[in-house]
């Protein structure tokens, strides 16, 4: 994940802090953010599964991908938290990259805009 702009990761970290009500240090790496979010997801899933599902829909994470992660974790006997955290972070990074690409495509001349 080193190819993504640091600004996008920091924006995602700030979003994670606000959305998941966790304290996120400045200049966090993707892996650190993934670990932090995985810990929060574990708490959320065990205490308020409905809120977890609500957040997944709000964030627009693929239900199919989450189900596959949960199925794999159940079959392997592993924790699903880190892979789900990575999925959430990657989805947020996609949103940020999409917004940035639309900003770049704006025409500079007001007369050229419709």
* pLDDT digits 0-9 by tens, 35-69: 999 999 999 999 999 999 999 999 999 989 999 99
Question: Are 81 and 42 contacting, i.e. CB atoms less than 8 angstroms apart?
Answer: yes
Q: How many residues are there in the chain?
A: 114
Question: Are 13 and 56 contacting, i.e. CB atoms less than 8 angstroms apart?
Answer: no
> Residue 2 has what pLDDT?
45
CA atoms within 13 A on the CB side of 105: 6
Domain residue spans of the chain: 6-19+29-102
pTM of this structure: 0.84
> Residue 1 has what pLDDT?
46
């Amino acid at each position: 994940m080193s190819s993504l702009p640091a600004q996008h990761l920091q924006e995602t970290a700030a979003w994670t802090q606000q959305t998941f009500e966790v304290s996120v240090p400045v200049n966090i790496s993707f892996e650190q953010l993934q670990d932090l979010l995985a810990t929060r997801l574990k708490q959320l899933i065990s205490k308020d599964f409905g809120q977890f599902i609500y957040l997944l829909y709000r964030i627009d994470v693929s239900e199919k991908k989450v189900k596959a992660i949960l199925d794999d974790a159940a079959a392997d006997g592993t924790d699903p938290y880190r892979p789900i955290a990575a999925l959430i972070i990657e989805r947020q990074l996609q949103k940020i990259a999409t917004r940035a690409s639309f900003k770049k495509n704006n025409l500079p001349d007001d007369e050229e805009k419709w």
